[in-house]
Amino acid sequence: MAYIGRDVDKISNVEVLDNITFDGSSSYTLQKGGSNFTPSSANTILLSIDGVVQAGNFTVSGSTIDFGTAVAGTSTCDFVLHYGVGLITSVSDGTVTTAKLADSSVTAAKITDATITAAKLASGTVQNQSAFKNIIINGDMSIAQRGTSESSYTSDTYSTVDRMKTRVGSLGTWTISQSTDVPSGQGFAKSLKWDCTTADASPSASDFLFLEHKIEGQNLQYLKYGTSSAESTTLSFWVKSNKTGTGQVNLRDYDNDKLLGGTYTISSADTWEKKTITYIGNTSDTLDNDNAVSLALEFWLDSGSTYTGGTAPTAWEARDQTDRNASGTLSLGDSTSNEWYITGVQLEAGTSASDFEFLPHDVNLQRCLRYYYHHAEKTGSQNPQIGMGTYTTSTRIDIIVFYPVTMRTDPSLISTSSEVYYIYGQADYFSNISGSANSTENCALLHSINDGASGTAGQAGVVSINGSGGIIAFNSEL
């Protein structure tokens, strides 16, 4: 008899197989319409024996079903069904949509500890999650107290962008600047730019060129170095250069004089690219819990053979000079056409990189002020004030300057030599200023040197910078 529609032995994706006649054996042949039938797996078979649905107590190989033990000949097979897509099996990725979930079906009790990691969260899932996860200070290059551009750099120094140290060892001449060239659509407003103004295409063996960022040990204790639970860290950053090639970025342990290397590749010239490097934790050596440097990042840009003869270390090793730029091929100092930009530098605990942690400008500035405080500088017609000065003798003026934050340690005074300072209210001038041994990490006691000041002990007045280009700053960098 003909039927309209599907065969009667197929309901949706279910096929009805022949009932099994048991004879006391453990294995039987699956059949449909008298012909052997091979299912896709045991998970696609549903059968009932003596009114009991069987589940998980049989295996299938080809068309043979095996119950593991003998099935009595007196038993009755009620039905055998084959499901084309299986019964309850593993769900493929991407197959469960929101519409398939019943209301309140996923509860907090059903989510196990450590199941949801940062990598599982889409960008923006957790709002206002900033918790100073970025170990790097001023990684977005937004703070530049010393100025936005300085030229003719040929040696080690902190310049322009705060916390980023220019390391030049007789390898070219450089202009270091804070640039507005940034990766589009990423939220950055500034980058750090290195521009080669005098090339050195054949550096001597000991010449070097790299960017360094140093980190206090007391800010790193949660990495648990020196224990079996030592945390890995992941570095992410945006980079751009007219040159393509491989750059080496080391994590240097100053406390234990050890080194761990990583590399990135600039694939396209003059194009912003995001790079990520993961560093394993150091389970052998602890980091000092103090305000001195413990770890540092080294972004190598060029060097002589002293630093290239070895291999970039993939495990923590005693610092070997030949390994520090062993994989670097950028040779940034070989032409005055060369430029290198970087921004969005983030180092965080874990093995994956999260979105960059943007901090409010004032918070970022406060963190930078711990290491360097640019108190006053005469750049125009106005005379910037230093502070209230008091004549302690007829030729000495003492001035107290309070820092906006507690500095890392008692800082050194940076002042322009042979500058002219003016005392309002006393109509007096003097030419040199010095720091006192009584200064601390919270305030500075400055005083004039016997070079022009003349007044009456006990009198006071506001001291300002009168000479063009004069600077008063305090340095407590690592």
Distance CA 308, CA 209 (A): 12
Non-local (6+) Cβ contacts of 147 within 8 A are 160
Q: What is the pTM of this model?
A: 0.76
Three-state secondary-structure class, residue 109:
helix
Please report the DSSP string for 350-413 in residue order: SSSPPPP----HHHHHHHHHTTEEEEEE--SSS--EEEEEEESSSS-EEEEEE-SS--SSSPEE
For residue 2, what pLDDT is reported? Answer: 46
Residue 126, pLDDT > 60, answer: no
- pLDDT of 117 higher than 80: no
Rounded Cα distance between 96 and 17, Å, is: 30
- Token readout for 112 is 């196990």
**Residue 386: pLDDT band by 50, 70, 90 thresholds?**
very high
Contact 242, 334 (CB under 8 A): no
CB 387 within 8 A of CB 401: yes
**How does residue 431 score in pLDDT terms, banded at 50, 70 and 90?**
confident
Mark residue 267 as left, alpha or beta (left: phi above 0; alpha: psi -120 to 50; beta: remaining).
alpha
Cβ neighbours for 61, distance < 8 A, ≥ 6 positions apart: none
* Integer angstrom CA distances of residue 95 from 98, 100, 101: 10, 9, 11
Q: What would the two tokens of residue 22 be?
A: 């048991």
| Residue 198 tokens, joined | 């005098």
Q: 298 with 259: CB under 8 angstroms?
A: no
Segment 328-349, tens digit of pLDDT: 999 999 999 999 999 999 999 9
CA distances (Å), origin 396, targets 365, 422, 423: 34, 13, 12
Could you tell me if 247 and 262 are in contact, meaning their C-beta atoms sit under 8 angstroms apart? no
In this structure, are residues 314 and 261 in contact, taking their beta carbons and an 8 Å threshold?
yes
Distance CA 349, CA 289 (A): 18
- The pLDDT confidence band at residue 438, using thresholds 50, 70 and 90, is confident
Strand partners, 472: 376, 415
CATH of 149-367, picked from 2.20.28.10, 2.60.120.260, 3.40.50.2300, 2.60.120.10, is 2.60.120.260
Evaluate the CA torsion angle 219, 221, 222, 225 in order and state its sign: positive
* Better-scored residue on pLDDT, 334 or 121: 334
pLDDT of 41 reads: 82
Rounded CA separation 362/15 (Å): 70
How many whole angstroms separate alpha carbon 367 and alpha carbon 344? 16
Q: Break the chain into its structural domains and give their ranges.
A: 10-83, 149-367, 370-475
CA 228, CA 284: separation in Å to the nearest integer?
Answer: 8
Residue 230: pLDDT over 50? yes
Q: pLDDT at position 427, please?
A: 83
- Looking at per-residue confidence, does 71 or 95 come out higher? 71
| C-alpha 242 chain-centroid distance | 24
| Nearest CA-CA partner of 50 in 25, 69, 76 | 76
Tell me the pLDDT tens digit for each residue of 28-43. 999 999 999 998 888 8
In the predicted model, what is the mean pLDDT of residues 371-397?
92
- Which is more confidently placed, 10 or 113? 113
| Cβ–Cβ under 8 Å, residues 363 and 139 | no
Q: 302-316, pLDDT tens digit by residue?
A: 999 999 999 999 999
